[in-house]
Amino acid sequence: MKMLLAGSWVDRDKTIEVRDPFDDSVVDTVPRATAADVETALAAALGGFEIARRMTVYDRAQVLLKTAAIVQGRLEEFATTIAREGSKTIREARKEARRCVNTLTISAEEAKRISGETIPFDSFPGGEQRVGYYQRVPIGVVLAITPFNDPLNLVAHKLGPAIAGGNAVVLKPATATPLSALRLTEAFLEAGLPPLVLQTLTGHGAEIGDALVADPRVRMISFTGGLEAGQRITRLAGIKKIGMELGSNSPVIVWRDADVRWAAETCVSGAFWAAGQNCIGVQRIYVHEEVYEAFRRGTVEFTARYKVGDKMKEDTDMGPMISAGEAKRVERWVADALHAGARVLAGGGRSGALMQPTVLENVPESATIHREEVFGPTVNLYPVATVEEALAKANSLPFGLHAAVFSRDVDTAFKLASGLDCGGVMINDSTDYRLDSMPFGGIKNSGLGREGVKFSLQEMTEPKVISFYLPTI
């Protein structure tokens, strides 16, 4: 596939192979963008912004609705692309494609809700002869950097609000999974988006990332990815808005009054969705000691049912990780935990990029697989005795994206939800539940700002005050 640059689809002599992690076959190739392409993209984006800011709200909304309709009409094609280039099974990929349609539709709706307010200037002496208001205006050029684990919907979560707000976008999709982003770019142009409004650059972040991030023509960076990359971006960015979702190490608290079977089944799904490569996936489960054994048995039972293998088969529950190298890393983290005293209750094996869904207990808090975001199909179980202990352990790490609580008692659920330090708490549900219209983001090392279409749109626009001095009032 070609990349979109300065209004044209272009190729380059140097290309990047996009490989299916299941069998390492080549799915397609994409251009390997250069520093010169970065300059071309940014210069074109400035022109694109002048076009975007003059588009009416109606026109922006129509483009978004038409793009959503195109994705809906080609749902299986988009789902196949997601599954082939990444880790998701075809069933998981279909769900992501449907969510993309929803995200774009919400973006069209929110484009019509960008509004300001009148300002009571006479609320302070000296303002009696002034009237006015503020309105929200586009911020300019938005740099969108997206990850491999949701290669379509997370692109939509950046492009949708940015375009709804009247901005231009330079999109840098993940090097491993650029095809879904390019197909969505095609859909936007087919829907009538002026080509200069969107630049989609494919290439290695190490070669083009720093130049994109540091350039003052970029007025906002919307980034989803790892903590280390996020820290580098903040050092390079200069004076511009930054929105970041940097992942987590999501804790779950299962209380003694929970529906233990439901909790076990839900947590297993939350831990192993997309081969565990999920920023809000379940990683640490703190279970009240009275129900620990029952929960342990249920977790092992549901994990044993998982069918791992070919992503394109309808009955496959979990596919490969994004690469054999990443699977080896997780395998090494498991081995290190075992060496430190942990026990494997289920899984633990690896074949190429396929890592078996793995359940661990007795994991030392010093182990990497406890302390860091694993971003792989493993989950750790821990018994706890009191609410205070559960909260202290759940909050003990420098992450805070999502958490979950399983309890049938409303008072307990409220107490635990209130005490958890994070951006969202799911009650009697997995940490990996997300509605595309809700505010989404974290605290501590989990990020800056909030996504979710309405909330991204606030980040991607700015208030502008208009004040009239009327001496005849």
pLDDT tens column, 378-390: 999 999 999 999 9
Task: Establish how many alpha carbons lie within 13 A of residue 314's alpha carbon, considering only the half-sphere containing its beta carbon.
Answer: 0
Q: Which CATH number fits domain 3-247+442-466: 3.30.750.24, 3.40.605.10, 3.30.70.890, 3.90.1150.10?
A: 3.40.605.10
Task: Give every residue of the chain whose pLDDT is below 50, as ranges.
Answer: none
Q: What is the pLDDT of residue 472?
A: 79
Helices (H), 165-275: 179-190, 205-214, 227-236, 260-272
Q: Which contiguous run of DSSP H or E holds residue 443?
A: none
> CA-to-CA distance for 88 and 332, rounded, in angstroms?
23
All residues at 6 or more sequence positions from 331 whose CB lies less than 8 Å from its CB, including other chains: 350, 355
CA–CA gap between residue 197 and residue 410 (Å, rounded):
49
Cβ proximity of 52 and 197 under 8 Å:
yes
Through-space distance between the first and last CA atoms of the chain, rounded to whole angstroms: 63
Return the pLDDT at 434.
Answer: 96
Q: Could you give the CA distance from residue 320 to residue 372 in angstroms, rounded to a whole number?
A: 21
Beta-carbon contacts of residue 351 (< 8 Å; ≥ 6 apart): none
3-class secondary-structure state, position 136: strand
What's the Cα-to-Cα distance from 250 to each of 28, 176, 431, rounded to whole Å?
Answer: 34, 25, 7
Q: Which fold has domain 250-427?
A: Aldehyde Dehydrogenase; Chain A, domain 2 (3.40.309)
Strand ranges inside 225-337, DSSP E: 241-245, 250-254, 282-288
Residues 6+ apart with CB under 8 A from 94: 75, 76, 79
pLDDT of 401 reads: 97
Distance between CA atoms of residues 318 and 320, nearest Å = 7
Residues forming a β-bridge with 447: 245
The structure tokens listed for 184 are: 């969505």
pTM of the full structure: 0.96
Contacts 24+ apart (CB under 8 A), 389-392: 390/253, 390/255, 390/286, 390/288, 390/416, 391/253, 391/416, 391/419, 391/420
Concatenated DSSP letters of 4-48:
EETTEEE--SSEEEEE-TTT--EEEEEE---HHHHHHHHHHHHHH
Is residue 339 within a helix (H) or strand (E), and if so which, with residue range?
helix 324-339
Percent of the chain with pLDDT over 70: 100
Catalytic residue annotation: 245, 279
Length of the chain in residues, anyone?
Answer: 473
Do 272 and 355 form a contact (C-beta atoms < 8 A)?
no
Domain boundaries, given as residue ranges, for the chain: 3-247+442-466, 250-427
Half-sphere exposure of 142 (CA within 13 A, CB side): 34
